[in-house]
Each structure stands twice: as structure tokens, then as C-alpha cells.
């Protein structure tokens, strides 16, 4: 059975043992992708950060917290997948030196130094082989141009471009863009419908590639 590796949800990057940097991702898109993939009979590895929602029965969950842990889990699972979809809102930065004990409230400013995390899709894109890869791009401006730039820099076959109101909601306005120049306006639609359209497109690419 073909296997899909899906990343979902946010990651958390520690400031100290009780505080962290994260984002508002709920993981709904990743879960909708996992449900749709299961309905198509695919095996699903779901690598996810802290979620507000239950992972679907039938998907193999791989819970992680940080971007570094998410990358390690994906590196381990990627060799045995046929499809990879990055739906996680991976934290792009992490504190350079998280405090080992809880920082006291002393009234002084807390100056943070943040360093970039590794790009999971771009890293695994270098070992893509015949696999079909897809990702998401949340853009506040030049939606299509910026999404196409990301598609190329991460060696993706497909990217779903959407605007920021998609975060934490059940619907979003999306455009599906392909490395082959395909552009499909999905309009305002459910995350499950986005999952259907994206998996249709990815399965088409796999057939063309003879994967």
C-alpha cells in the first residue's frame, strides 16, 4: 500500500521549562489530509506537534514538540514513504539558549536571540527520488509568486497557497499550484476538499512518474 508522510500542527520552541514560542496552527489541515488519505486506502504516518484535535484512528501518530524533533521523525520515516505533505506550521525560529530554570519576573526586559530552524521540506526535498512532495504557503502578499518561489526552493511538486485567515479555521481560500505550471483556484473551501484536490493531484503526478 502506498505510504504518505504528513506533518501537522504547530511546533513549540522552549524559552525556559514553562514558556515557549509557537503559533496558532490547530492542525486541522493535516488531520483532514490524514483522513482523506486513509479513505483512499493509503498508509499514513502523521508527525504532529501539540494538537487541539484527536488524530484519526488508522493513522500512525508520531507526536513531537520542537522543529528539531519533527525533522528527526521525518528523516526516519521519509525513506519508506511514497508521498510527503508538509502541513505543519513549523516554527521558523527557536531561542538560541533556552534557560534551564524558570526565568523570574524581575521587571527588566528579556532580550531573546532567535536562530533559524531547519526547513524540513527543503531538507527532505534533496532526497526526494521518485516521491511526490507537497507543501502549504501562507502569504500576506504576492500569494502566487511567493508560493511558486517556495515550491521551487523546497523541490515540491505541489503547493497550496492560502491567505492568513486559514489559520485555526475550518475553511480557507486556496489556490493549488503545480511544478508543471498547473494553477487551480479552489475558492473558499473546506480543509477536507483541499485534501481531496491535493491528493488527486499528487496521485496523478505519481502515475505520470511511474512511481
Residue 13 engages ligand C5P in binding (rule: CB under 6 A): no
Residue 29 engages ligand C5P in binding (rule: CB under 6 A): no
Strands (E), the chain: 3-8, 13-16, 19-21, 43-48, 60-63, 83-86, 93-95, 114-116, 132-138, 158-162, 171-178, 183-190
Residue 27 engages ligand C5P in binding (rule: CB under 6 A): no
Each residue 86-115 as x (binds ligand C5P by CB under 6 A) or -, in order, gives xxx-x-x-----------------------
* Alpha carbons within 13 A on the beta-carbon side of 46: 30
Residues 71, 116 contacting (CB under 8 angstroms): no
Residues noted as catalytic: 23
> Can you name the residues that pair with 84 across neighbouring β-strands?
5, 133
Residue 158 engages ligand C5P in binding (rule: CB under 6 A): no
Residue 67 engages ligand C5P in binding (rule: CB under 6 A): yes
Residue among 27 and 86 whose Cβ is closer to ligand C5P: 86
Which residues are near ligand C5P by CB under 6 A? Answer: 7, 67, 86-88, 90, 92, 117, 119-121, 135-137, 150
Amino acid at each position: 500500500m502506498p505510504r504518505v508522510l504528513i506533518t501537522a500542527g504547530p511546533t513549540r520552541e522552549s524559552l525556559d521549562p514553562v514558556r515557549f514560542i509557537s503559533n496558532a496552527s490547530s492542525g486541522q489541515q493535516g488531520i483532514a489530509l490524514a483522513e482523506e488519505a486513509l479513505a483512499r486506502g493509503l498508509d499514513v504516518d502523521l508527525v504532529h506537534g501539540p494538537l487541539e484535535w484527536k488524530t484519526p484512528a488508522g493513522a500512525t501518530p508520531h507526536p513531537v514538540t520542537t522543529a528539531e524533533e519533527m525533522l528527526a521523525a521525518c528523516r526516519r520515516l521519509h525513506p519508506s514513504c511514497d508521498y510527503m505533505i508538509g502541513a505543519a506550521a513549523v516554527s521558523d525560529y527557536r531561542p538560541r539558549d533556552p534557560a534551564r530554570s524558570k526565568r523570574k519576573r524581575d521587571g527588566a526586559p528579556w532580550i531573546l536571540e532567535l536562530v533559524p530552524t531547519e526547513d524540513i521540506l527543503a531538507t527532505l526535498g534533496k532526497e526526494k527520488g521518485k516521491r511526490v512532495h507537497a507543501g502549504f504557503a501562507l502569504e500576506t502578499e504576492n500569494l502566487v509568486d511567493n508560493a511558486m518561489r517556495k515550491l521551487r526552493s523546497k523541490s515540491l511538486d505541489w503547493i497550496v497557497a492560502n491567505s492568513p485567515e486559514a489559520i485555526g479555521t475550518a475553511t480557507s481560500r486556496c489556490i493549488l499550484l503545480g511544478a508543471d505550471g498547473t494553477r487551480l483556484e479552489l475558492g473558499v473551501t473546506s480543509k477536507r476538499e483541499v485534501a481531496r484536490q491535493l491528493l488527486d493531484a499528487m496521485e496523478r503526478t505519481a502515475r505520470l512518474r511511474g512511481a
